[in-house]
Amino acid sequence: MSESGSGGDIHTASLGGFSDGWMGDAAFSRELEAAINPLRADARMLTQNAADLDDLVQQTLLKAWKARRTFRQDRNFKGWLFVILRNCFYEECRRARVRRARERLLAPVASCAPSQEDAVSLRNLARRMNLLPSAQKQALVAATIGGKSHAEIAESTGVSVGAVKSRVCRARQALLH
């Protein structure tokens, strides 16, 4: 099952398919190439836009390549790729929604002169932000201003997604009270 020079079949099979030898890079690359047109067809239905289609397929192929060591050969390769494609699409939709919300929030602020009340509110917010524990502040800023998902924050900080959600929630509660 493995390509020459990439590991022994008996050893890699006993590891559940998670070693370098299960599917070599060349075989994986061939499988990726064969899946490009079906991926494009599904991406076309999701995006309805040629430029976004190409970006989505490219992002899917890149993520698949980076995760190639986790693919188990006894699984459906195209199904695995389509899950990655769908997740990339949902992630981009979420980011776009966050960008639009941020733009809607910032548009009125940018179009009017600040008032004395706004300055006081901003100072109060900054004071409360400085009182937050650094982990909560970091998670809140990354989620709200940075537009990152809880999973992305968890990966970059080395904690669980649940811990990130808890930190963001506690930070928001502290700022409101």
Distances (CA, A) of 33 to 39, 43, 62, 136, 174: 10, 15, 12, 43, 50
One domain for residues 28 and 74: yes
CB 163 within 8 A of CB 143: no
Compute and round to an integer the Cα radius of gyration of the chain.
22
In this structure, are 98 and 121 located in the same domain? no
**Residue 161 is part of a domain; what is its CATH number?**
1.10.10.10
pLDDT at 101 over 90: no
How many domains would you assign to the chain? 2
pLDDT band at 3 (very low <50, low <70, confident <90, very high): very low
Instruction: Write down which residue in 78, 96, 112 finishes a domain.
Output: 112
pLDDT of residue 109: 57
Are 20 and 98 found together in one domain?
yes
Co-location of 93 and 153 in the same domain: no
The two structure tokens encoding residue 32:
């990726």
91 and 125 within one domain: no
Residue-wise pLDDT for 18-45, tens only, equals 444 467 888 899 999 999 999 999 999 9
Q: Are 125 and 137 in contact (CB under 8 A)?
A: no
Q: Does residue 172 sit in the same domain as residue 88?
A: no
**For residues 54 and 44, what is the distance between their CA atoms, to the nearest angstrom?**
9
Domain co-membership, 172 together with 147: yes
Same domain, yes or no: 86 and 134: no
The boundaries of the domain holding residue 90 are 1-112
pLDDT, position 6:
43
129 and 90 assigned to the same domain: no
